[in-house]
Structure 1
Amino acid sequence: MRFVRAVTVSPGVSDSLRLVEDWPEPAPEEGSILVEALAVGICGTDQEIIAGHYGEPPPGQERLVIGHESLGRVLEDPTGTLQRGDLVAGVVRHPDPVPCPSCAVDEWDMCRNGRYTEHGIKGLPGFARDRWRVQPKFAVGLDPVLAPVGMLLEPASVVAKAWDHIERIGARTEWKPQSVLVTGAGPIGLLAALLATQRGLAVHVLDRNTTGPKPDLVRALGATYHTVPVNELDLEPDVVVECTGAPVVVLEAMCKVGPTGIVCLTGVSSGGRTIDFDAGALNRALVLENNVVFGSVNANRRHWEQAAVALARADQTWLNSLITRRVPMSDFASAYEHTGQDIKVVLDFAS
């Protein structure tokens, strides 16, 4: 039996992160396409799994290979879907086995019963291993230009889904949005701003950081960077994409959007915090101005493909600037340390 290196955890056990040097080679049952890992991106989800907050290993296993922001190169594909040497990313979520009405039409991002599985998170091994396998249905080929940054496809797919749903909701009436406010300049917020600029909108990004790379990254898009509270902005945007999950920001974003406006919530709040807030006034504004507030998470294959196109269209130097640390496998543990200074950290298998 051949073995690979794999970054693993014991789900539910805090600080159980381990590099296993003799993890079994992925079995053909995992998928017909065999992939050599190039890199995985790291996000807050990984850190929460490492902290033991959630995570679920595959059936019959005690440890979970983490990593859901994948980038690899095809080693073999007997189906002919991809060619040897092609860049590829693996779709994270798989539909539930029932399936629910949404999963039955390949909209597993809208799963209604929660029985879906997710690579590196829930019931499926992740991509932080030297080689992984994927079914053709869940393999997304990438333009060669994305070789340095293809691991951004997963967060970009989340943003592509958000914009897809924003535009679907907007189509309820004659709607020609001009401006968008993005709250939060992490990877999701910056990619949301990127896709907004590609739509020709006037883009405003709000974040607390006054130093570091974020202000320059926003300005490089031709967008405007703000650091004041939402309620102090002299704006009435047509769209708000909320990416912080901070309760005060969420509520102020709902109040800030203009008439017939749309607020998309992508940040997840931790809960447990009570805020003194005039809910009646918010209700009045939402109803009388025909506003919509909705949540968006994950993505289906259509959104992954949309994201691949958007990334290939983007300025590649700008995309590279989102990656503030590239960590070799020899120093894997440091990649998962939260410094507060990073935008996106990448664990580099190729090195």
Structure 2
Amino acid sequence: MTDLLAEAVAAISSSTVEQIGHFSYDAPTDTWTWSDELYLIHGFRPREVVPTTALLVAHQHPDDRAAGVDDVFETLRSGRPFASRHRVVDSRQVERKVITVGQAELDGAGQIHRVSGFVIDVTGSFRRDLAASTHAAVEAAGASRAVIDQAKGALMLVYGMDEDAAFNLLRWYSQRSNVKLRDLAETLVTATSAGVPMSGDTRRRLDEVFFGLAGGHPETDGSAVSGDLTTTVTVEQGMQILHITGNVDLSTGPQFTAVLATAVGQAERPTPVVIDLSDLTHLGSVGLAVLTQFSRRCAGRGTPLRVVFGELSTLPSVRSAGLSGFRTIADALA
């Protein structure tokens, strides 16, 4: 426990909480959100005023201007949680002693964009057992980093990738699934702890688990290109055929998306886009969802997507995907 946290817990151990208010500050929009209790701490009726940075500064005690608001902006810069004891002067000019605790929140790109936390009014004295609750709230500020590290470790173990690659993979799916990176990591860790074995066909099973947690709808752009898939292009009957071999699962989903994005982007109406997947060793839910979205995109562009599945065409998941699938290249070109 840091000295700052120890000070915060000690400060409230012999006090009585009169109000606990919640706040959230969104940096991109410079917008504050207050709970009803936080309005009351500042001497206002709920929603009587619009909370702003200027309003907060105005109600800081003149001797404590370095605390409170400044802590929020320091957390935006550093990402470190904070706990501070300071004073506010409410609308009736009554001085109130408060403890503010907060933590940074990450967006889909893994960047800090919001700070949220609590303001605890300890003007009176309060019960010692609430110190444990405040301690837990502050400790939770660092939990998101811990769970992301755990999720990275699981991906590193299962897919044999390094730490940077594991984080980039988490971030890629977070961005395209519109799920917070912390939430995605937390559910992945929970799922793996609940029964995904670390042997045998773990890659395939984790592929299904992770993709389900990510919502099943990655966006189809070509921003990520690394992976273990092998691609070649041949020409038959005047049409280019993209051959893809390897394992389309969680770890190669970004590369699979990028490869298809390039092929579809180069297609000219009304020439079909022919993708040969007959030599794939595995086609998971990630790959089928990406193919489905590109199929819709191709239909809108007038360049129909034709997918050669080979033996994979017998899989129930492939048959139910609703794609224009063929067993052989000759069938796709007919």
Common fold: TM-score over 0.5: no
Bigger fraction of residues in helix: 2
Q: Based on CA coordinates, which of the two structures has the bigger radius of gyration?
A: 2
What interval of TM-score do these two structures reach, taking the shorter chain for normalisation?
under 0.3
Report the TM-score when normalising by structure 1.
Answer: 0.26
Task: Between the two structures, name the one with larger relative contact order (CA 8 Å, sep ≥ 6).
Answer: 1
